[in-house]
Amino acid sequence: MRLTIDGHRVGYDDRGGDGVPLVLLHGFPLERALWDAQMPALAGKRVIRVDLRGCGESDPSDGPALMELLAGDVAGLLDALQVERAALVGHSVGGYVSLAFFRMYAERVAGLALVASHVAADAARNPNADEAQRTLSAGRDALIARLEAENMMEAAVESYLPRYFAPSFYAAHPDVVERTGVMMLRQNPRGCAQLQRGMKERLDSHDLLDDIRVPALVLAGEYDAYINPAMLRETAAALRDGAFVQLDGVGHMPMIEEPERTADALAAFAQRVRG
C-alpha cells in the first residue's frame, strides 16, 4: 500500500490489531519485507511497517534523505492512519529515524527499540568513533558516486552484503544471503544515494538518553561488523527503562540470522509498551 505524504508516496502495510501500534523501520538498503519472519510472533498486535524513501514502494528523496525528513514521513503516515502514539522499532538507519522521531515528536512515542543501531553521529562528525565506524563513513562518498553514476544497486550490495552477517552464516545459509542481496538490488539507487547523504548528516543522539523514559529495547548482535555490542549495552544502561538483548553468533541482521529470537525480543518489548 502507498499513501502520499507531503507530495511523496510512502510504502507501508498496516496489520490491524490491539494495543499501541508497533512501527517497524528497516535498515539500508532494504525494505519493509525485512520484518516478515517477525510478524507471526506479533500476532494480535497492530504492526505498521514502513518503507524509507528510495526503498520498497516509497519514492526517493529529491535531496539528502535527512533523518528528520524521514521521521516527518512516519509522522505524516501515522496522522493519515489516525495513530496518535506508537512504539518505534528501528533497524540500523531505521534506528536513526526512530531517534529523530523522538527528538521531534516525543509525546507520540510509547516505546523505542534500536535493533543493531546506535545513538552516535556519523564518524565524519564524531572524533570518538571506532575503526569500524570510521571505515563505514569513509566509504560513503564513493558509494554515493557509484550509485548515481551507474544507476544500479550493485555498489551497495558489494559494500554491505559481505559484512552484514556473522562470518559463519555465509557458508551455512548461502540461500538466505542470496535472497538478501536480491532485496538490496531492487531498491532505488538514486534514492539510496540520498539515504547515504542523510546518514552522513545525522545528529548525535546521546543527549536524548535522559529524556527517553518510555519502555526501550536495545538489541545487539555479537558479531556485528559495524557496531560494538558493548557500546549498545552502555546505551541500554543509560535508559531509564531500557532492556538489553545480545544475540550470540549474530551479525548486523538479527531479524534474518535469528528470526525467532529477534521475534521473541520484540514481542517482549511490545508487552512492556502501554498507551
3-class secondary structure, 158: helix
| Residue 146 belongs to domain spanning | 2-272
Tell me the mean pLDDT in the region 8-37.
Answer: 96
pTM for this prediction: 0.97
Mean residue pLDDT across the chain = 96
pLDDT at 123 over 90: no
Distances, alpha carbon 156 to alpha carbons 133, 164, 168, 192, in Å:
17, 12, 22, 9
pLDDT score at 186: 98
Mean pLDDT of 101-124: 96
Burial bucket for residue 207 (CB in 10 Å: 0-12, 13-18, 19+)? exposed
Give the 3-state secondary structure of residue 12: strand
245, pLDDT greater than 90 = yes
For residues 13-18, average pLDDT: 91
Instruction: Using the predicted structure, report yes or no on whether residue 124 has a pLDDT greater than 90.
Output: no
Q: What is the pLDDT of residue 143?
A: 97
> Is the pLDDT assigned to residue 101 strictly greater than 90?
yes
What lies within 8 Å, CB to CB, of 142 at 6+ separation is none
Residue 275 has pLDDT above 80, yes or no: no
Q: Pick the more confident residue, 206 or 128.
A: 206
The band of 126, judged by pLDDT with boundaries at 50, 70 and 90, is confident
Domain CATH for 222: 3.40.50.1820
Q: What is the mean pLDDT of residues 257-266?
A: 98
Number of domains in the chain: 1
pLDDT (0 to 100) of residue 199: 97
What is the reported pLDDT for 203? 96
Radius of gyration of the chain (CA): 17
Average confidence (pLDDT) over 154-183:
98
pLDDT, residue 119, reads 98
- pLDDT higher than 90, residue 125: no
Alpha carbons 100 and 93: distance in angstroms, whole number: 11
The three-class DSSP label of residue 133 is helix
